[in-house]
Structure 1
């Protein structure tokens, strides 16, 4: 049986990975980076975490937390890369 909550988490995770430029956008067939979108997706998942607190199974909570953590770490990494590239062009 399909777990609809995890389908929702996966849906947002896929958008997050696409906006990080880590996977191809299926609508365009291209790698596209939009870090503002990534930030919004992380915020949506954080809101989902708060609104479902105490109502998730152990697996649902673990997967949600891992998804948020992975997206945040990759987001910070991409922001750092952009900042480093910006500093290199100024030198």
Structure 2
């Protein structure tokens, strides 16, 4: 979870403050949703941890779509954030899928 916390801190630093709404905070909210569905974070409404691979994949697919559609229009920091988040989420998803197949 240290990677999740590091990415969150970086996105908050880019945002300038936590209450601003910008591309980085939007991307981070989608990534957080994926982490909740991957069972890496507690659901904020229920406080429970559960795995929902279908919704996790949907959040990852949305991030992938945004990466494709915004290509060439992001700052270097935003592009790096999206790439790192997608890599981390994809690896976690693959790991969880493999664990559930065994």
Same fold (TM > 0.5): yes
Give the match for residue 52 of structure 2. 34
Deviation at 1:33, TM superposition (A): 0.8
Deviation at 1:53, TM superposition (A): 0.4
Q: Distance in 1 between matches of 2:75 and 2:42?
A: 31
Correspondence list, 1:1-91, <5 A: 1=16, 2=20, 4-84=22-102
Say which one has the larger Rg: 1
Secondary structure of the 1:25 match is: coil
Superposition TM-score, scaled by structure 1 size: 0.89
Q: Distance in 2 between matches of 1:3 and 1:48?
A: 16
CA RMSD of aligned residues (A): 1.0
* Structure 1 unpaired stretches of 5+: 85-91
Deviation at 1:3, TM superposition (A): 6.2
* Structure 2 unpaired stretches of 5+: 1-15
Superposition TM-score, scaled by structure 2 size: 0.79
Count of residue correspondences: 84
